[in-house]
């Protein structure tokens, strides 16, 4: 809200936040500014789970980034991604289902790639986007570092390995370098750059061009950022949210406590 109000007056607004906690889905905040025809981004640090390239210990969070662009007749483009090769939630789901995870998602405590969820959960680490150094893992590491600095160093929140845990079973760092978790929000008034209607119509053209990309498979058309979530939302509004038994058991246990 503060960033949005600043953007209305000055054309852009940026806010770095400290002394906070888990803020849910990063994309939620970016989408809030669409009603004002603004472009906005959101990012946050989180509990250490990711190793830097060439490392074998948890030093960074999954540190997600989100940004949203309004369309005219087409839906908005909404980008929301973790800076790790996979979100930790995917590790948890695979562990509950007792299935292996893809190569390149994580390493074990010895720094070796693992597809075993328990090896990652027990002293292992997630890898940054790009996974390994030779195939671009430094890019995810750099993005995660950017989120860490904008969200925490700038706001005096706990950065890197000093971020407090979200869950009780995770280790609490012995040292503090700030207050709580940190977030960073930015909002831009499109009219400061280009007529907003002109921009939104050009976004529609962008979407149409990319959706018309020749697909590898006729059964799977090329999507734009935000499409998978919109498609999944339609299914879940009709059929509900799928839950596996271990999740239901955990929810029951929490509710009883």
Give the model confidence (pLDDT) of 15-42 as tens digits.
999 999 999 999 999 999 999 999 999 9
CA distance 86 to 64: 11
* Per-residue pLDDT reduced to its tens digit, 134-158: 999 999 999 999 999 999 999 999 9
Percentage, residues of the chain above pLDDT 70: 99
Range 145-180 burial, b when 16+ CB lie within 10 A, else e: bebbbbbbbbbebbbbebbbeeeeeeeebeeeebeb
- pLDDT tens sequence across 202-232: 999 999 999 999 999 989 999 999 999 999 9
CA distance 16 to 160: 16
Query: What's the maximum distance between 2 C-alpha atoms anywhere in the chain?
Result: 55
């Amino acid at each position: 809200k503060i960033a949005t109000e600043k953007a209305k007056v000055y054309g852009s607004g940026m806010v770095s936040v400290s002394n906070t906690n888990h803020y849910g889905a990063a994309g939620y905040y970016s989408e809030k500014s669409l009603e004002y025809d603004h472009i906005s981004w959101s990012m946050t640090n989180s509990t250490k789970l990711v190793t830097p390239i060439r490392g074998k210990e948890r030093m960074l969070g999954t540190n997600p980034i989100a940004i949203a662009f309004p369309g005219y007749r087409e839906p908005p483009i909404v980008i929301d991604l973790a800076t790790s090769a996979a979100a930790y939630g995917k590790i948890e789901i695979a562990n509950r289902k007792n299935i292996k995870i893809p190569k390149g998602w994580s390493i074990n405590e010895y720094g070796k790639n693992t597809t075993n969820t328990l090896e990652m959960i027990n002293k292992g680490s997630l890898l940054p986007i790009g996974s390994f150094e030779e195939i671009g893992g430094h890019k995810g590491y750099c993005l995660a570092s950017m989120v860490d600095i904008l969200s925490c160093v700038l706001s005096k929140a706990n950065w890197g390995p000093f971020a407090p845990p979200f869950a009780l079973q995770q280790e609490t760092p012995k040292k503090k370098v700030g207050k709580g978790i940190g977030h960073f929000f930015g909002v831009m008034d499109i009219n400061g750059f280009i007529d907003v209607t002109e921009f939104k119509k050009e976004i529609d053209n962008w979407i149409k061009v990319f959706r018309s990309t020749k697909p590898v498979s006729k059964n799977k058309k090329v999507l734009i950022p935000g499409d998978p979530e919109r498609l999944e939302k339609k299914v879940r509004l009709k059929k509900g949210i799928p839950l596996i038994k271990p999740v239901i058991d955990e929810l029951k246990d929490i509710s009883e406590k």
